[in-house]
Chain A
Amino acid sequence: MDTVLIVISVTVVLVLWFVLHVYNGLVRMRNDVRNAWSDIDVQLTFRHDLVPGIVASVKGYMSHERQTLEAVAQARSAAMVTGADIGTRAVAEMALGRAVGNLLAVAERYPELKASQNFLILQEQLTTTENRIAFARQHYNEMVRQFNTSIAEFPRNLLAGMLGYSPEKLFAADAQDRAAVQVTT
């Protein structure tokens, strides 16, 4: 009788310990994902704030590149009104990234602009903004990959299903999202 009791209590303690361990791990990983997402969000907002200033500062040099400048402004406003869905947001933000890159490429054609120190600083600012977004995205996607693998693996998937954890979405554009957003470049 005593041995049975001991075996049962040990098993219960072990199971409880396992559940706690898995639960804490899941919570930590989901928080990592959320944290990484807020990092992306910060960087994207930073770019939204940066773009008008850049357009204003190159406008004087390249007045007859109206189309390029307008494309940037349009892409920005399109990116700012997308909802919470990660997929559609990814598409819109990527369009903005392309428009800004295009602007830089066009600006390289203007010698007096290219030679100025201000433009070099501006160029560095844009490069770093694009890089930050790219790296934040890389980090976010890596965190999501880890989280998704973790909740799909065997003993954990039982508990994850019960606790209502579902796979997070990668910050990337698939065909369905592309169709949902009207992209003008």
Chain B
Amino acid sequence: MSTPGTADAPRPFTPRDPETFFKAQRRNRRATWRMSALCIFAAFLMGIPLTLVLTPFLYAVTMVVAEVINHFSPLPAEFWQNASDLAKLAYRVADVLINQRGTVDPQDLAIGLALVLVPGIVLSLVLWVGILLLFRHGGVGGTLASLNARDPNSADLKELQLSDVVQEMAIAAGLPVPRMMLIDAPGANCAAIGTSATDAHIVLSRRLLDDLDREQLQALIAHMIASVGNGDLRIAFTVTSVFETCGLITTLINAPFGKQSRSTLWRIIRYPFRRGTAIARCADADEVAELLADTMDVNSTDIERFFDSGNAGLIRKTLRVVFFPFMFTNMAIELTLWFFLNLLLGPCMALLWRTRRYLADAGAVELTRNPDALASALQQLSNDTTAIAGGSWAAHLFVVNPSGDRSLRDIAPATDRQRKALEVWRATAKGAVGASSAVSNVVPITGVGLGAYADLRKEIMSTVKAAAAGDADAVARMQGFAAAMGGVQALGLKEMPNPKDIMLAQQGDRAAIARIRMLMQTGDRDVQPKRGQTGLQTHSFVSFHPPLEKREKRLQKMGAHLLVPTPTRGGMALKVFLVLLYLLIVPLLTVAGVLMLVVIALMICLNLLFLGLWLSVIHWAFAQDWGQNINAFEGFVEQVSAAFSKGR
């Protein structure tokens, strides 16, 4: 840890290889293309095992339907002939590919592969397009509702300032002004939501207005507007739809087994036909999206309940036998989705999304021409609580990770700001020193430098404690200090309540007390998301938000003056230890991954085996001439009874 106190001297500001914002934007655009290609490749890789599970399942269902139809109105013999030919061909190709036995000509090979791959791919694509069409006109209202967003109040100076800043930034970008919504949350964060630039909404927590000054606010809004202008909303929509498609596939497979999946499916089917206000439709869309996200949890319980419930009736028992092979299909699909989403597709999409964040950072610098403001705003947010309750489905849309990013917490602000802090602190001390015991205990600081700055922090902390205990002088001093500095969070102090709130709370203002209590509750702990509101973040091994430190470094290349310390981690011993640890962990993780793949392959094979058995049993059942059998049985009974009567 390198705290400002331990650093020996303030280093001069020298950005390494500076980069203009135009260049940075071009570079990030290229990176986006690369990442999109990687995403498509990852989706393709994930599609192979998925289609290996889905295709046999589809064939099995088709064959059963054909058998039933055949029973009532016999299908032409050609159909059965073709089906049998295709099955034999598939068997031959599989034999060549897996056992290296026999030969197959390229045409047969192509047909065989197409037979296996095409139905799964077509099904996935159809579902994906369906999801895209379904949610094209929804989502914003629902998310807004789940965040408890409200319109800004133009009588409040800060909120008036906010709408001014938004308009300024929209003018700078030449875009339509997006709508602003405020959330009264203890965390400081903001997000752009919507499906396109025309219905974009910027959601912003009230605390952000209190903690940031005008320029910092402008920088964050510029980031949001640049993001909207770059078309990030569309990308976010596509990314979300891929995750939702995976949820839909699981739901479809689960549908025969449980109420939860069936009700989800029913809601999805009903959704496009729903009449009513736009807001109700949007809320519905949001709810459906969350249900889909919930289905994605591996420990979704529908199928377990189906096979586990103790006192099952005869019908349930029969159904269990009939649906037994589906259990393997279900498990194979859930396992595949979980594994590939978390380790392959999710991280690729997260990295894609990160390039968009860097791009929007560069765009914000282009709009404001003030890299310092964005850098200090990000630093401030690193010190603040950024958690927003509700709407974690949209967690990836927020400008800073809502579960917090502390990578910039201990960074000393730029030297001029430190000097200003020292001066202001000394100026506010005149009235307070001597009057209050808590403050006068501290030795007055002298001199300017990083050592003095560390002392300053300690002193401010003790004053904050005194203020929280109800010392009026300490409160007054903090208030004066905060007013002069434009917020104290930037000085690397942990979350502390707004001095104004402390004053109001002492006078008995309920709202202020509630705000302080909420802050205390959120504190350093992360807010635990509700089940079903996990969002995309939990489906990816890699976070959707780039680390603030990296963003800060890129801003520095564009000219921001913030000293990001080079981390000075322990000595040689620690390095050796870390290398050993990595040497141990990496092979272990690789082995675990390979084992997972083997398990998935096993599940796929079992699925094939059971589906095959299931099909042959059904085929046998339909092929039996039951009528003749019954006649024979009756004849047998008659004979027996005749024999009995004869004997008697």
B140 to A: closest C-beta gap in Å: 26
Residues of chain B within 8 A of A127, CB atoms compared: 164, 214
A123 to B: closest C-beta gap in Å: 10
Cα A143 to Cα B173 with chains together (Å):
11
The closest CB in chain B to the CB of A129 belongs to B164
Cα A143 to Cα B169 with chains together (Å):
16
Residues of chain B within 8 A of A43, CB atoms compared: 171
Residues of chain B within 8 A of A143, CB atoms compared: 174
The answer on a CB contact under 8 Å between B171 and A120 is no
Cα A132 to Cα B174 with chains together (Å):
11
Instruction: Given the known inter-chain contacts A132-B167, A138-B369, please indicate yes or no for A121 contacting B172, CB distance below 8 A.
Output: no
A87 to B: closest C-beta gap in Å: 22
Residues of chain B within 8 A of A32, CB atoms compared: 174
Question: What number of A-B contacts does a CB cutoff of 8 Å give?
Answer: 41
Cα A35 to Cα B174 with chains together (Å):
9
The answer on a CB contact under 8 Å between B169 and A135 is yes
- Give how many A residues have a beta carbon under 8 Å from the other chain's beta carbons: 19
Residues of chain A within 8 A of B167, CB atoms compared: 128, 132
Q: Is the interface of B mostly helix, strand, loop or mixed?
A: helix
The reply on B131 being an interface residue by CB < 8 A is no
Interface size on B, as a range, is 10 to 19
The answer on a CB contact under 8 Å between B157 and A132 is no
The reply on B455 being an interface residue by CB < 8 A is no
Q: Is the interface of A mostly helix, strand, loop or mixed?
A: helix
A101 to B: closest C-beta gap in Å: 16
The reply on A79 being an interface residue by CB < 8 A is no
The answer on a CB contact under 8 Å between B164 and A39 is no
The reply on A156 being an interface residue by CB < 8 A is no
Residues of chain B within 8 A of A92, CB atoms compared: none
B152 to A: closest C-beta gap in Å: 13
The answer on a CB contact under 8 Å between B160 and A121 is yes
The answer on a CB contact under 8 Å between A138 and B172 is yes
The closest CB in chain A to the CB of B214 belongs to A127
Cα A79 to Cα B172 with chains together (Å):
23
Instruction: Given the known inter-chain contacts A128-B168, A132-B168, A138-B369, please indicate yes or no for A36 contacting B161, CB distance below 8 A.
Output: no
The reply on A136 being an interface residue by CB < 8 A is yes
The answer on a CB contact under 8 Å between A39 and B160 is no
Among B120-177, those with CB < 8 Å from A are 157, 160-161, 164-165, 167-169, 171-174
The reply on B367 being an interface residue by CB < 8 A is yes
The answer on a CB contact under 8 Å between A128 and B173 is no
Query: What are 12 A-B contacts with C-beta separation under 8 Å?
Result: A32-B174, A36-B174, A39-B171, A39-B174, A120-B157, A124-B160, A124-B161, A128-B161, A128-B165, A128-B168, A138-B369, A139-B172
Interface residues of A (CB under 8 A from B): 32, 35-36, 39, 43, 117, 120-121, 124-125, 127-128, 131-132, 135-136, 138-139, 143
